[in-house]
């Protein structure tokens, strides 16, 4: 019975994709236009960058352990991470490379921040200290990730800057997202290319988040607050408290008769 139900669901899903593919191509075509911005205003990007502590930290990192980031990432980090500054929290960063980002996170979040790093290179153990723990292993190894969770989880923030391969990104999200705290943030970066498999995977999450549930919120809607897409980055934020139901409410006494 379950198999038949799954087959029916798969067929329905496939039909929806085929029916709606024209909408996808229309959106893609619209994205290629050069008319998306017809406003003229003075940009305040320079001032915004100068007020972003992460940008300042990156710009000042002229010596010591290296940090390798796309410039626009710092605004995204600050937008989603600033609420954690000065709080006691635990971060997991996948892919620590030359170690510079570990110090950047510590400086940004403060002395109450504990950092756990994952990398495949044994030499990265050199970055361990009294506030940083390093695990050596592959982010596509589910057993390894479960070991890290068992010993260190849960996490307030998870940053996937690891191997950047779609399968690695998907496996990491599947294993780690359930272990992000309420109100926490999961960020995956360096999602490069059109029709990227991990980006498409996350589009499936967005579709599920938009499911209209009358009686009660779906399992995903109870836990996930939002999914944000940026150039090369996906950010998933969890609800502070699980939502039992998505409610549509009315207030006021004077109404147009259109929906009576």
Give catalytic residue positions: 164
Q: Are 240 and 182 in contact (CB under 8 A)?
A: yes
Note whether 164 and 234 are within 8 A (CB).
no
Cis, bond preceding 254 (omega within 30 deg of 0): no
What is the Cα–Cα distance from 61 to 34, expressed in whole angstroms? 36
> Which residues, 6+ apart, have CB-to-CB distance to 139 below 8 Å?
94, 95, 118, 145, 160, 162, 163, 168, 171, 172
User: What single DSSP character describes residue 226?
Assistant: E
CA distance readout (Å), 164 to 100, 144, 161: 19, 18, 7
The CA-atom distances, in angstroms, between 14 and each of 17, 19, 232 are: 5, 9, 27
Cα–chain center distance at 90: 16
């Amino acid at each position: 019975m379950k198999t038949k139900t799954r087959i029916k669901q798969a067929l329905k899903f496939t039909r929806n994709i085929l029916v709606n593919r024209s909408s996808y191509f229309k959106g893609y075509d619209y994205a290629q236009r050069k008319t998306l911005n017809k406003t003229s205003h003075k940009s305040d990007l320079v001032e915004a960058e100068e007020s972003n502590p992460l940008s300042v930290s990156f710009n000042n990192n002229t010596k010591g352990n290296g940090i390798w980031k796309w410039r626009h990432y710092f605004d995204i980090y600050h937008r989603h991470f600033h609420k954690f500054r000065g709080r006691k929290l635990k971060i997991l960063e996948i892919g620590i490379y030359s170690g510079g980002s570990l110090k950047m996170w510590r400086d940004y979040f403060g002395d109450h921040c504990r950092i756990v790093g994952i990398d495949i290179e044994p030499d990265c153990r050199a970055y361990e200290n009294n506030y940083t723990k390093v695990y050596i292993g592959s982010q596509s190894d589910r057993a390894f990730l479960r070991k890290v969770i068992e010993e260190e989880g849960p996490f307030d923030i998870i940053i996937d800057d690891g191997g950047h391969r779609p399968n690695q990104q998907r496996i990491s999200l599947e294993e780690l997202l359930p272990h992000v705290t309420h109100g926490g943030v999961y960020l995956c970066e360096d999602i490069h290319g059109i029709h990227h498999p991990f980006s498409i995977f996350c589009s499936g999450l967005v579709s599920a988040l938009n499911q209209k549930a009358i009686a009660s919120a779906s399992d995903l809607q109870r836990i996930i607050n939002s999914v944000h897409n940026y150039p090369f980055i996906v950010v998933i934020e969890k609800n502070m408290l699980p939502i039992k139901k998505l409610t549509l409410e009315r207030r006021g006494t004077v109404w147009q008769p259109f929906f009576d």
